[in-house]
Amino acid sequence: MAKAEENVYTLASLREHLIRQEDTIIYGLIERAKFPSNSNTYDDKYAQIPGFSGSLVEFVVKNAEDVQAKAGRYTNPKEHPFFPENLPPSNVPSYPFSQFLHPGPASININKSIWKMYFQDLLPLLATSGDDGNYAQTAAADLSLLQAISSRIHYGKFVAEVKFRDAPQDYEPLIRAKDREGVMKLLTFTDVEETVRKRVEKKATVFGQEVSLDSDNDGNGKRKFDPTVASRLYKNWMIPLTKEIEVEYLLRRLD
Amino acid sequence: MLRFLVSVLVLASCKEVQKMAKAQYTVDSARACLVRQEDTIIFALIERAKFPLNSPTYNHTFTSISQIQGSLLHFFIRNTEAIQSKAGRYTNPEEIPFFPENLPPSVAPYYPSSEFLHSAGALININKDIWKLYFHVLLPMFVASGDDGNYAQTAAADLTLLQAISRRIHYGRFVAEAKFRETPQIFESLIRAKDRKALMKVLTLESIEKMVVKRVEKKAMVFGHEVSLEHVKEGTYKVDPSVVSLLYQKWLIPLTKNVELEYLLRRLD
């Protein structure tokens, strides 16, 4: 992570960070896959928590974010809450995180879309059907994974800023013309995207395997989760949503 | 026809019994669970190592001007455990809080938890010792010095790792109960005699322990190396695999056995 004084983000350093985040996300997928779908966690008719209307996962995430906010998490421009309304302010001395992003679009937060994608699209692919009663732990695993996914996607703002600074003359006319398609085309590198998808699948296979001392058994089909879920997550949602953020950010870059 | 219907009903209710947090533990199933927990612990070590030491997280004077009592870490863990408790986490006897005093009760719907452990031993909680071990011995071993300002995420990573370690060690109660049930005659006389040495000898299977230590080192290499499409970057790991094997050899395995021992000593109460 760059220190406050280092306002030096480059495309290479950002890509390195994104590569490290792949591991975090895959560990998060594996740890969530440890639990079955435990659908009661997501059912607000099941929870019936006094004084709270919503599901157990909403209860856990909202309250956890309150604690994390007081602990200063969201003063870091790389962190985004899922429930920003009425979030308490930080209770700790402020840390001089670098002000690298352009102020207006710096506040872009698409967590509502990420939340929907996570529960409607990803979870059905990831978790096997079933119930083991461990709803609180399931919600905690969801929160970790949601945060990792959100962090990766919103990193698009930093990527966009670096791309803009590297070639403002290319982006400015497209931004002024509000040419979304043009901007999207300019920031898309399909060969890089394919490399990412392949690497994620390889990592998911490696990290998701059952490792035993009997080396004949390694990668012998026994695994903790389906590695194609990780590459689908990246291909269908992570990469497109990251680029969407890049476009949204750039369209407001000259405001 | 009636017998068929009855057997279908029995099968259906057996599934309900299974739903009750695995009411039947065996030595084999407990060992399988411990093996899976190795991965959880190693992932958590790797994720904590992502951050430098970030010592303000642990420093009482850092938070002294705010409304926060104690260090940021204390604040974070106490409050996060309170939320988890309300959500029902600690109704599962496999989960043990670090701050059990004043923990709020669960407000989630009642879920039947397993009635596998003997009541006296079920209450064993050595989290205070695990806490000390974590901060004074373990953390300095695998975390780089430095400060990146991400104290809240650091505290979150600490909690995840602490919970994984605590869960592994306290699983000793389930291992002990399963061992006791399999061969009560071996244990009963030793327990009545309060013969700690002999009990520990029965609990110790050196060949298995050696395998565990080797396996976690291998896992740390597999999960912690840089995976790229071109080549395998030899020798660079996100956490030093020898730290992981040392963690197991010097602390996780001995502390788990201590818990097994303490559990068994109370088994006939």
Looking at domain B2-265, its CATH class is: mainly alpha
Nearest CA in chain A to B159: A140
Residue with tokens 């996570």: A118
Give me the amino acid identity at B230. E
> CA-CA distances (angstroms) from residue B117 to B31, B170, B252?
16, 12, 21
For residues A164-183, b (16+ Cβ closer than 10 Å) or e, as one string? Answer: beeeeeebeebbeeeeeebb
C-alpha distance from B214 to closest chain A C-alpha (Å): 8
Q: Establish if A151 touches chain B: CB-CB under 8 angstroms.
A: no
- Ramachandran bin of B159, using left for φ above 0, alpha for ψ from -120 to 50, beta for the remaining angles: alpha
Q: What are phi and psi of A24, to 5 degrees?
A: -55, -45
C-alpha distance from A198 to closest chain B C-alpha (Å): 8
CB contact under 8 A, B95 and A137: yes
Q: Establish if A193 touches chain B: CB-CB under 8 angstroms.
A: no
**If contacts are CB pairs under 8 Å, which of residues 85-124 in chain A contact chain B?**
91-93, 95-97
> Pick from B65, B148, B156: which is nearest to A3 by CB?
B148
CA-angle at A69, arms to A64 and A70, nearest 5°: 105
Q: Establish if A46 touches chain B: CB-CB under 8 angstroms.
A: yes
**In the prediction, which pLDDT does B64 show?**
73
**In the prediction, which pLDDT does A218 show?**
56
Q: Establish if B15 touches chain A: CB-CB under 8 angstroms.
A: no
CB contact under 8 A, A92 and B151: yes
Q: Where are the domains of chain B?
A: 2-265
Residues of B in contact with A207 (CB under 8 A): 222-223, 227
Residue partners of A73: CB distance under 8 A and separation at least 6: A79, B152, B153
Residue with tokens 């299977």: B205
> Pick from B19, B108, B222: which is nearest to A211 by CB?
B222
**In the prediction, which pLDDT does A3 show?**
46
> Pick from A4, A136, A144: which is nearest to B88 by CB?
A136
> Pick from A3, A4, A199: which is nearest to B228 by CB?
A199
CB contact under 8 A, B19 and A64: no
C-alpha distance from A138 to closest chain B C-alpha (Å): 10
Beta bridge partners of B225: B237
C-alpha B261/C-alpha B269 separation (Å) is 14
pTM of the model: 0.93
Per-residue pLDDT of B140-179, as tens digits, reads 999 999 999 999 999 999 999 999 999 999 999 999 999 9
> CA-CA distances (angstroms) from residue B114 to A134, B22, B118, B122, B259?
12, 7, 11, 11, 19
Q: Establish if B209 touches chain A: CB-CB under 8 angstroms.
A: no
**Number of independent structural domains in chain A:** 1
CB pairs A-B closer than 8 Å: 142
The enclosing domain of A106 has a CATH number of 1.10.590.10
> Pick from B40, B107, B148: which is nearest to A49 by CB?
B107
Q: Which domain holds residue A224?
A: 2-251
Residues of B in contact with A50 (CB under 8 A): 107
pLDDT, block means (10 residues), chain A with 255 residues = 59 93 98 97 94 96 97 96 96 91 95 98 96 96 98 97 96 97 95 96 95 70 86 97 97 95
Q: Establish if A192 touches chain B: CB-CB under 8 angstroms.
A: no
Q: Which residues of chain B have pLDDT under 50?
A: 5-22
> CA-CA distances (angstroms) from residue B9 to B2, B19, B22, B111, B183?
11, 15, 20, 21, 33
C-alpha distance from B28 to closest chain A C-alpha (Å): 16
Look up residue A249 and give its two tokens.
Answer: 């950010």
Residues of A in contact with B40 (CB under 8 A): 31, 34
